């Protein structure tokens, strides 16, 4: 059996990016899942970072890329040429907005066309990329990417904010780091980054956070494999402070995967009696891997179970604090998950709102009197956030909201809401709810 010869440098990354984009754009696959399946197959960390950068950029400029194809081609690409469309969008993204050297983009992308079995279309790829290099991509209306139902909800929820939300959600997200205080200080780690030629900024009010205003492969972060640091947006890092369990408290993370927030709680207090729950055993393995890398959670209980079926997993010992980072529409993190605009449907939101309510009702009786449940989402839709919490408080006599400071975002009913890009962070909602003693 003959083995395929290795692809030339740079070509493998373009092939991988085209395949990921084809799966996401034309087959309804999740971008996160495609990255998880594809990136480990690339040995070079730089290639893995390049694939991520190309895919994110291609999805962000999809409307402009499609406008270019419509203007520059005599007829629309047929369905059988969907992989070619994905490759062309990847090529356009490398030229604008990634601004990579044009000669390298053209050479590697044309070779990628051949590697994908499209030798007969290599000349077309070359011609279209050269035109994009010469003329630039045409402008396109951002509304072509944002579904009408989502625009309507955002206009109703946040009057006058729609274009700012879209602009922030279309921008490249910075890299936020969380320094593991069990292994060092934030300032010391910043010095390590500086020595490695990486400049990072300190953010007020986040004791473990650093922000790098560029995309950065984790392989380039000093001590990442050893657990010195994690990648976690500043908005997600605020969760630990909002919950703020007492030392040694019994804490439930009810939707724990992939484990970043639970790990942060354990970094702050290794003595917490933590139970990490997730409905999917495969996702729970990611929690175990996160804990192992960071050197935390040796005594934590990890359970694969449905959080709403408490009779199947709860041991009847109340929790002092519960984190419910609920399944949501992810409309606050479109800059990190641009495929949300492709795959999310309005009916999905209605189903998520119902699930969030079931989770709140099921978990509340597990909370000790005087304990706090933190309800959090990465959504910016009021139905999942402000209205969800208001409905819960209305039907739960022994629940009361705990005021959170302005650093958690703008006031949103009983909680706080951050919109995408505010303070450089993702869109996020927080509501702290205390059970009456």
Annotated catalytic sites, by residue? 378
Pairing mode, strands 175-179 and 229-231 = antiparallel
The Cα–Cα gap between 188 and 186 comes to 5
Write the DSSP string, 318-380. Answer: PEEEEEEE-----TT-TTT-TTHHHH--HHHHHHHHHHHHHHHHHHGGGEEEEEEEEEEES--
Could you give phi then psi for residue 52, rounded to 5 degrees?
A: -60, -45
In angstroms, the Cα distances linking 14 to 32, 50, 84, 106, 366 are 18, 8, 12, 11, 50
Query: How many C-beta neighbours within 10 Å does residue 394 have?
Result: 9
Cβ atoms of 175 and 232 within 8 Å: the answer is: no
Q: 173 with 426: CB under 8 angstroms?
A: yes
Task: Classify residue 316 by its DSSP letter.
Answer: S
CB 317 within 8 A of CB 250: yes
Alpha-carbon torsion angle 39, 42, 43, 48, nearest 10: -60
Instruction: Find the helix or strand (DSSP H, E) in which 228 lies.
Output: none
CA distance 239 to 389: 17
Select from 143, 145, 144, 109 the least CA-distant residue to 125. Answer: 109
Residue of 213, 208, 137, 244 lying closest to 424 (CA atoms): 213
CA 9 to chain centroid, in Å, comes to: 29
- Distance between CA atoms of 186 and 50, rounded to whole angstroms? 28
Report yes or no: 428 and 236 within 8 Å, Cβ to Cβ: yes
């Amino acid at each position: 059996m003959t083995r395929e010869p290795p692809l030339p440098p740079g070509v493998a990354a373009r092939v991988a990016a085209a395949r990921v984009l084809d799966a996401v754009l034309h087959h309804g696959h999740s971008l996160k899942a495609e990255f998880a399946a594809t990136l480990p197959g690339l040995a070079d960390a730089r290639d893995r970072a390049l694939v991520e950068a190309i895919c994110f950029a291609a999805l962000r400029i999809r409307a402009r890329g499609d406008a270019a194809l419509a203007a520059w081609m005599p007829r629309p690409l047929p369905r059988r040429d969907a992989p070619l469309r994905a490759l062309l969008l990847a090529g356009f993204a490398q030229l604008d907005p990634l601004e990579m050297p044009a000669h390298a983009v053209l050479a590697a992308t044309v070779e990628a066309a051949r590697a994908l079995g499209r030798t007969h279309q290599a000349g077309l790829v070359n011609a279209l990329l050269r035109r994009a290099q010469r003329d630039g991509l045409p402008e396109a209306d951002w509304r072509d990417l944002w579904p009408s139902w989502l625009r309507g909800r955002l206009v109703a929820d946040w009057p006058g904010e729609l274009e700012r939300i879209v602009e922030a959600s279309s921008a490249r997200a910075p890299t936020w780091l969380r320094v593991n205080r069990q292994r060092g200080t934030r300032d010391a780690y910043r010095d390590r980054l500086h020595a490695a030629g990486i400049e990072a900024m300190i953010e007020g009010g986040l004791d473990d956070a650093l922000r790098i205003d560029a995309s950065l492969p984790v392989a380039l972060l000093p001590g990442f494999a050893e657990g010195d640091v994690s990648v976690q947006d500043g908005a997600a890092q605020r969760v630990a402070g909002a919950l703020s369990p007492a030392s040694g408290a019994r804490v439930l993370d009810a939707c724990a995967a992939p484990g970043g927030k639970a790990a942060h709680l354990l970094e702050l207090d290794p003595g917490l009696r933590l139970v990490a729950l997730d409905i999917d055993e495969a996702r729970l393995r990611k929690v175990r891997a996160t804990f192992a890398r960071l050197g935390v959670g040796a005594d934590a209980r990890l359970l694969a179970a449905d959080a709403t079926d408490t009779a199947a997993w709860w041991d009847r010992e109340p929790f002092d604090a519960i984190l419910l980072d609920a399944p949501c529409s992810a409309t606050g993190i479109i800059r990190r998950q641009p495929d949300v605009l492709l795959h999310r449907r309005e009916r999905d939101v209605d189903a998520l709102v119902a699930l969030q309510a079931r989770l709140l009702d099921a978990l509340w009786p597990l909370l000790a009197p005087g304990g706090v449940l933190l309800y959090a989402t990465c959504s910016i839709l009021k139905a999942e956030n402000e209205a969800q919490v208001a409905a819960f408080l209305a039907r739960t006599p022994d629940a009361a909201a705990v005021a959170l400071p302005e650093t958690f975002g703008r006031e949103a009913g009983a909680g706080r809401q951050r919109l995408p890009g505010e303070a450089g962070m993702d869109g996020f909602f927080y509501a702290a709810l205390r059970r009456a003693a």
